[in-house]
Chains A and B, each alone.
Chain A
Amino acid sequence: MKCPQCSDILLTLEFDRIEIDYCPGCRGVWLDAGELGILLERDGKEALLLSAPGSVRRKEKKRACPICSRGMEKVLMTGSDVLLDECPSHGLWFDGGELSKILEAECGDRGEEDRTGGLARLLDEIFTPGKEERT
């Protein structure tokens, strides 16, 4: 599978029984619809926290779904300004910048209410190890 942004070959990362696809070139992350389904089953609806798809109009260029290469919709993660690309049939794309926004928010807001949900927590766990040691 190729990165929708820089066409590097994505690496598949498995952590805590969830798989994501990661672009080593631009640090973007692809979350397969199958994995979203598992997250949804495991952590309930709040795992995803996506606003209604297609509701955001941005000038940002549409990216192509790495699976069907149709243009993806822009969606917002609830309670944040993180803008994601979604293919309704195949999954979600976080580009490198959006991912680091999520990770920063997680580090900053620790202790306050955890509003980013299980998905952000998972990404945080994958990309920032040794969190336990820090706190």
Chain B
Amino acid sequence: MFWSVIAANKRKTVLLIVLMGFFLISSGSMIGMALADAQHPYAAGLIGAAAAGAVWVVMLLVSLFASDSVLLGLTHAREVTRDMYPQLINVVEEMVIAGSLPHMPRIFVVDDPSPNAFAVGKSPEKSCICVTAGLLALCDRDELQGVVAHEIGHIMNRDVLYMTVAATMLGSILFISDMFVRSFRYTSTTRLASRSRRAGGGAAGPLLIVSLLLAIIGPILARVLYFSISRRREYLADATSARLTRYPEGLASALEKIGQSPVMLSAAPSAVAPFYTVNPYRQHISSGAFATHPPLSERIQILRAMSHGAGYTDYLKAYARVTRRRRALLPPADLTERGKVDIRQASRDGCSAPATRAESLRRARDIIRALNDFAFITCACGLRIKVAPEYPKDRIACPRCSRVHSVQRSGAAAVGSVLSASSAMGAPAAARVVCPDQGGGHPSERAVQEARFVPGRWQKIACEICGHGYEISPRFSGKRLVCSGCGAVIRFSRAAGQGGGSSDISA
């Protein structure tokens, strides 16, 4: 445990809350005064300050009491159990014991193909670890353990407390200045014009400039403050990871794989970015004061330079050697390590052949989808259809063979069926089919109707069987359409003479 780091994180959190409160309230009052009528600038300033203060209090309460649910909600993470991801749960348990955390964190998985992980929670008692489906698919056991231990490190060092508060505060600043910029754009065209004509307003001009400056500098300041601080903590979490796993190569190789992965973190909201093991926006913000994370190559190099042991002292030595930085990562008083920590043997199970990777990504994502209320349909033609909960209709025609299926959302049962289906993986898709078979049959035996299609303009047609209507875009160049109401095939003959619709699936 790095006591000075923990204390510093707590201190910084309080300082940040106070500073942000001051900043929000003063800019709120300025904005209020700038936007007010010339007669009552101070009353409006007070109202602005009160509004900003209210926002601050709400943000503070949220960041201290509901931050984990907000952050996990933003990323659509789902809590998982041992039967879904046994290896993940085991690895977390081992690291919790190694780090002697008072509580087992809750474990979440995000449906995201890009490999990454983060932790949230204001104390070790109430923490959550979140990994992406992509990470589970990419990493073997040692690598997963390295990443999980890095997150445990953040929890132990109270980094997540500070980051949670900072993320919420940053969000509120951006929100307020955004509101200001919008209202300024609006009033500058209307009210300002009339005000300057009356030549009144007194302090309105300078006030406007000051508050405009605030609105510009505020977000930059908040970002610099928040991003620049989160770099040292990454090194320390890496050190903790090496120490807890006694195997620095695990994290090093995970980071390397993550760095080479072509996939970016998709739906991650920017406020969550600093939480991740690896910056999800690495292509856009790569270095400098705006980088939330030290360069990956450097982190990997340090971990690989730990050839003599896996202790904190070994990490610090490697850090000094690789980065050539004079300033130590930690004050010497924090190093209470006694004796030497040996590096353990690799426990590689070497299971990341392409086929199994595709499969485990599929499985990892399907479980999360089932938890998120997707419906799963396996068609007799071998196609699996996964229907999002937002999908409005309750019947679907298979895009491959046009069989019509009804969409049934089975909730918890879907998770079970995904689990059992994926344990039976290996059989070819068509052999595992469960077909509801409504109006099935080979596509060539299905009802086919003809419709005239005039390219170059919008037109409406209706299915002769079920009456379902379609608007056909002028750019539509297909030769047939499968009615999503009944599954019948509507075949188009081209009016403009460019070849009749002769070749369709049954041709």
Residues of A bordering B, CB below 8 Å: 1, 9-19, 22, 24, 26-27, 32-38, 40-42, 67-68, 88-90, 96-97, 100-101, 104, 107, 126-130
Contact of B390 among A9, A18, A34, A130 (CB under 8 A): A9
Q: A41-B357, A129-B381 known; A13 and B399 CB under 8 Å?
A: yes
A32 nearest in chain B by CB position:
B113
The CA of A34 and the CA of B134, in the complex, are separated in Å by 8
B261 nearest in chain A by CB position:
A37
Interface positions, chain B 109-164, Cβ under 8 Å from A, are 113-114, 134
CB distance from B437 to the nearest CB of A (A): 16
Q: A100-B477, A100-B478, A127-B399 known; A15 and B429 CB under 8 Å?
A: yes
Residues of B bordering A, CB below 8 Å: 113-114, 134, 261-264, 266-267, 283, 354-355, 357-359, 361-362, 365, 369, 374, 381-388, 390-392, 396-397, 399-401, 429, 442-444, 473, 475-479, 484, 503, 505
B134 nearest in chain A by CB position:
A34
Given contacts A14-B384, A16-B429, A33-B264, 5 further A-B contacts (CB under 8 A): A9-B388, A15-B400, A37-B261, A96-B477, A104-B503
Q: A34-B263, A130-B443 known; A41 and B361 CB under 8 Å?
A: no
A9 surroundings in chain B (CB, below 8 A): 388, 390-392
Q: A10-B388, A11-B396 known; A17 and B264 CB under 8 Å?
A: no
13 intermolecular pairs with C-beta atoms under 8 Å apart: A9-B391, A11-B387, A13-B383, A13-B386, A15-B429, A33-B262, A33-B263, A33-B266, A34-B113, A89-B263, A97-B478, A101-B477, A130-B505
A19 surroundings in chain B (CB, below 8 A): 362, 365, 386
CB distance from B340 to the nearest CB of A (A): 40
The CA of A101 and the CA of B477, in the complex, are separated in Å by 8
Is the pair A97, B384 in contact by a Cβ cutoff of 8 Å? no
The CA of A33 and the CA of B357, in the complex, are separated in Å by 15
Is the pair A129, B266 in contact by a Cβ cutoff of 8 Å? no
CB distance from B67 to the nearest CB of A (A): 24
A104 surroundings in chain B (CB, below 8 A): 503
B374 surroundings in chain A (CB, below 8 A): 12
Is the pair A126, B399 in contact by a Cβ cutoff of 8 Å? yes
B390 nearest in chain A by CB position:
A9
Is the pair A11, B385 in contact by a Cβ cutoff of 8 Å? yes
B478 surroundings in chain A (CB, below 8 A): 27, 96-97, 100
CB distance from B111 to the nearest CB of A (A): 11
Is the pair B264, A90 in contact by a Cβ cutoff of 8 Å? yes
Q: A42-B354, A89-B264, A127-B399 known; A33 and B381 CB under 8 Å?
A: no
The CA of A17 and the CA of B360, in the complex, are separated in Å by 10
**Which of A17, A35, A68, A104 has the most chain B CB atoms inside 10 A of its CB?**
A17
The CA of A15 and the CA of B398, in the complex, are separated in Å by 12
The CA of A17 and the CA of B385, in the complex, are separated in Å by 12
B484 surroundings in chain A (CB, below 8 A): 24
CB distance from B134 to the nearest CB of A (A): 6
The CA of A125 and the CA of B219, in the complex, are separated in Å by 50
A96 surroundings in chain B (CB, below 8 A): 476-478
A26 surroundings in chain B (CB, below 8 A): 473
CB distance from A33 to the nearest CB of B (A): 5
B505 nearest in chain A by CB position:
A128
The CA of A10 and the CA of B262, in the complex, are separated in Å by 23
Is the pair A107, B503 in contact by a Cβ cutoff of 8 Å? yes
The CA of A87 and the CA of B114, in the complex, are separated in Å by 15
Is the pair A12, B479 in contact by a Cβ cutoff of 8 Å? no
A128 surroundings in chain B (CB, below 8 A): 505
Is the pair A41, B385 in contact by a Cβ cutoff of 8 Å? no
Is the pair B479, A100 in contact by a Cβ cutoff of 8 Å? yes
B262 surroundings in chain A (CB, below 8 A): 33, 36-37, 40
A27 surroundings in chain B (CB, below 8 A): 399, 478
B425 nearest in chain A by CB position:
A17
B267 surroundings in chain A (CB, below 8 A): 67
Is the pair A11, B358 in contact by a Cβ cutoff of 8 Å? no
CB distance from B71 to the nearest CB of A (A): 19
